[in-house]
Amino acid sequence: MNLNKRISRLANKAFIVVFIAYMLDVAFARLVAFGAGLYVAPVFLVAKTFFYGGIFATCVNFLIDERYQLDIKGFLLSCKKYFWTYIAYLALIIVVDMVFSFNLNYFNGWDFLYAKNHFQILTYPLIAFFIVKAKKLQGNEGCSKSPPIEVKEFLLILVLYFIDVGLFYIPQFIDLEEIEIARVTLLFSKYIQLYLFLYLGYFAVYPYRKTYIADPNAKELYLINPKPKGFLSYIHTFLYPKNPWLFFVLKALTPKDYAVKTFSNVDLLPEEYMPGKLVAITSFSSNVYEAYSIAKKFRARGSKVIMGGAHAGFLPDEALCFCDSVVIGEAESVWDKIIQDYENDRLQQKYYGEPRDNFYEKVDEYIIDVAERQRIIQIETTRGCKFSCDFCVIPSMTFKKIRHRPIENVIKILENFKMNKSTVLFLDNNIYAEPKYSIELFKALEKMNISWSGSASIDIAKDDEVLDLVKRSGCIQLLIGYEIAAVSIEKEKKGKFSMADQYLELSKKIMKKGIQIDAQFIFGFEKDNYKSLLDLWKFCFKLRPTITSVGLLTPLPGSKLYQRMLEQDKLLNLNWSSYSLDQIVFEHKNLNEKLTSFMAYVITLFYFFSTSSFGIKCFVAIAVSLFVVL
């Protein structure tokens, strides 16, 4: 990949830091402009110092390691460790200005803003170098200290510099009372400055870059979870980056002579598509096309590709058009066989993974071994769900069977984490799937003084003693699926939906215990109409959970709903990119499919900002920020 493409790719990955820089600059300038804002401006100056340090460090992280994944925790850590770089940046500009002013009369009398705009480009490689030195990185042996640069790249840097300088002068020649162009030029300028920092910083960090030169003869396993598409997916990745639990399982089951590399929600570099590798890809329906694209590229280079997950497992013949083998069911029971067949060059097309009661074997030893290196504690205590919802694929994936690991086994794992961690994320489909087991688990957790979150069905609140125990065990948040509106046909069913009339009462009991609720709703059931949307909003508003999420009913392959609609010829298309919970993909007698799909993001954001406590706080913060900026 040439330098221009590399820098463009990194700039797109770092877009969010550009927006942060833009908002900080505009807010600070506006507060200084107002007399009353002078009292608040120092706070924003401190914030600028803090966040700009993180922005500089994030850009350097991208330059050092192109696999670096930007997330909120990593960004805030960079802000904390490298806040001093913004002070160094300002100091360097002052020094450069003094040098130019002393030697050239033309620069005498320039104020700081003029000097900053014209000279900041000279500080970029120095700032990048300071951060590299602060990281105490060792240079690569045999790596040239002066990277090659072509004439066209040098000219591009000059063009970007002069455009940035020109943007600085534009507002001075325009009546801003009539045309609000200053903010547009500032945002454009920030993006150009990001490019310039990445270009010039590249030369400073070149000897320290991580290189990924794969050995075609090495025994390597690539575990891949394709990056989802869309801006909201980008934000979600920024806030909640993590490897899927399957990666831990396969790592634990893979022989130790394999080097295992993981790629979750990231773009693979062109040089990473190597021959002679074993590649395992998992995906959902909504990102399966990206999975197929990755699989084709690896196969074209001579690697063997295994696909699994909900979509490939339920539509194996489709997946086999792009890969060598498909795992149908659970990987634990067939992974040893897959490795053996791969090494003997006799991979089968289909592997049927039967559910194992002891699904946790071998995995726990690995989890304990890597406990200290994990930032997030993840553990699966129960697999399966006691309900059989038409729209859900879990019953089919888990063979309608509930299995769990011994409680003493869970406690042993958590004790290894407890030294450095305090919060646990239980990955169970429903942590209250088997109440008798769950109660014993909660009693054991009560003695450990930890905090935990997980998914549960609403009946966890039916028994007051159980709910008290849940709170004492350390529960701080529960993800609960409500999924129905008052007129939905689902309400007529037994099981989970028989409690619909108690949703509000039971939810209030949970929140009174100080347990936050991440409420998940589905709109678009066959009896739903646009009035149902209003009724659902009223319910959410009364509930006032911590987070409100609304998705559109989607007949995912593997669900009873999909099979029924396929048989009734109600599906509008089989374009799997549309099966992302934000489009109506079946004929609906009460809803306009195109209009509802078009409104999906609006519905999601409206519910979040107007009915959830966290969303309302975000809305107020955004409104205040916009008031300050505008």
Cα–Cα distance between 380 and 383 in angstroms, integer?
Answer: 7
CA dihedral sign, ordered 168, 170, 175, 181: negative
Reduced to 3 states (helix: H, G, I; strand: E, B; else coil), residue 605 is: helix
Tens digit of pLDDT for each residue in 402-460?
A: 888 899 988 888 887 765 555 788 989 899 999 999 999 999 999 888 899 999 999 99
Q: What is the pLDDT of residue 484?
A: 54
What does R_g of the chain's alpha carbons equal in angstroms? 27
Q: What is the pLDDT of residue 13?
A: 72
Residues 353-374, mean pLDDT to the nearest whole number: 73
- 450's CB contacts (< 8 A; 6+ apart) are 414, 418, 422, 423, 424, 474
Cα–Cα distance between 586 and 598 in angstroms, integer?
Answer: 15
Tens digit of pLDDT for each residue in 317-337?
A: 999 999 999 999 989 889 999
* Residue extents of the structural domains in the chain: 3-208, 220-230+243-353
Q: With residue 56 as reference, give the H or E element that holds it.
A: helix 41-64
pLDDT band at 296 (very low <50, low <70, confident <90, very high): very high
Cα–Cα distance between 477 and 480 in angstroms, integer?
Answer: 10
Mean pLDDT of the chain: 83
pLDDT band at 625 (very low <50, low <70, confident <90, very high): low
Q: How would you classify the pairing of strands 325-329 and 350-353? A: parallel
Provide long-range contacts, Cβ within 8 A and 24+ apart, for 529-537. 529/487, 529/590, 529/591, 530/590, 530/591, 532/485, 532/486, 532/487, 532/488, 533/485, 533/603, 535/485, 535/486, 535/487, 536/485, 537/606, 537/607, 537/610, 537/611
Tens digit of pLDDT for each residue in 465-510?
A: 999 999 999 999 999 998 654 444 444 554 444 445 688 899 999 9
Say if CB 216 and CB 276 are below 8 A apart.
yes
Higher pLDDT, 13 or 274: 274
**Backbone torsions φ then ψ of 18, nearest 5 degrees:** -65, -45
pLDDT at 239 over 60: no
Residues 272-289, mean pLDDT to the nearest whole number: 92
555 forms bridges with which residues in the sheet?
Answer: none
Tens digit of pLDDT for each residue in 52-88?
A: 888 889 889 888 887 777 777 788 888 999 999 988 9
Tens digit of pLDDT for each residue in 542-555?
A: 999 999 999 999 99
CATH of domain 220-230+243-353: 3.40.50.280
pLDDT at 347 over 90: yes
Cα–Cα distance between 507 and 459 in angstroms, integer?
Answer: 10
